[in-house]
Amino acid sequence: MELKAQKREVLGKKVGALRREGMIPAELYGHGVDNVHLAVAAKDFDKVYTEAGENTVVSLSFNGAPRMVMIHGVQTDPVKAKVIAVDFHEVKMDEVITAAVPLEFVGESPAVKDLGGVLVKAMDEIEVEAFPQDIPSEIIIDLSKLVNLGDSIYVKDLPTGAKYEYKVESNTVVVTISEPAEEEALAAEVTPEAVIVEGEEKRAQREANAQNEGNEA
């Protein structure tokens, strides 16, 4: 993935003018690297970000010199849903790094479909250690393996690669199937007939208590 950038002198609140011109203010930093103020075209960044995400190496070029970076932080306008600022983290291709890789859940669990189980996702991403170029873009998890209530998929069950390793304990639960929701079970028990019977029982109890108090008096 390649992305062009340009150095910027505009800082602080003045970056609003950049955004109106279709540019996104950005920062480049990294271990042993001087911070650089940059700007990237919004349309170009959106395309790269959609394809690369935050765990794929991108070749960022400015002043004729490409830098190997990863998109480390993206700020979005909550109203317009547009990217308003970006951080790029420069990486060295011969140094191992740790990155958060998204988990992609696919398929359908028979325990959910047939037994009414509740799918509980304990994680939506996982830390992976590898050289920058070997960080996977996503980890696929097949939910069809969850057949019975109580079934779980652990880190040790995830796909493995020779070029990366997980930085999470192997017995950590990734996704599990719990019993049908308690509130659903309670809702099934509370029928109109049950409410009527309960109301009559309580009224009869009150009348009995009142009569006993009258006899005692």
Instruction: Give residue-wise pLDDT tens across range 138-186.
Output: 999 999 999 999 999 999 999 988 899 999 999 999 999 998 865 455 4
Residues of the domain holding 29: 2-91
pLDDT of 108 above 60? yes
Of residues 181 and 98, which shows the higher confidence score?
Answer: 98
Q: Are 31 and 79 in the same domain? A: yes
Domain count, the chain: 3
Domain CATH code at residue 39: 2.40.240.10
Compute the distance between CA of residue 18 and CA of residue 13 in angstroms, rounded to an integer: 10
The predicted structure's pLDDT at residue 165:
94
Of 91, 111, 145, the one marking the end of a domain is: 91
Question: Two tokens at 44?
Answer: 């170009």
Of residues 53 and 128, which shows the higher confidence score?
Answer: 128
The predicted structure's pLDDT at residue 155:
96
Of 35, 60, 91, the one marking the end of a domain is: 91
Q: Are 6 and 82 in the same domain? A: yes
The predicted structure's pLDDT at residue 129:
95
pLDDT of 208 above 60? no
How does pLDDT run across 16-74, given as a tens digit for each residue?
A: 888 889 999 999 998 778 889 999 999 999 999 988 888 889 999 988 778 999 998 89
Average pLDDT of the chain to the nearest whole number: 84
Compute the distance between CA of residue 33 and CA of residue 108 in angstroms, rounded to an integer: 46
Contact 131, 161 (CB under 8 A): no
Q: Are 87 and 103 in the same domain? A: no
Q: Are 171 and 208 in the same domain? A: no
Of 68, 91, 114, the one marking the end of a domain is: 91
Q: Are 72 and 103 in the same domain? A: no
Question: Once rounded to an integer, what is the mean pLDDT over residues 124-140?
Answer: 93
Q: Are 108 and 73 in the same domain? A: no
Q: What is the pTM (predicted TM-score) of this model?
A: 0.70
The predicted structure's pLDDT at residue 78:
86
Of residues 176 and 208, which shows the higher confidence score?
Answer: 176
Backbone torsions φ then ψ of 137, nearest 5 degrees: -75, -25
Strands 118-121 and 97-106: unpaired
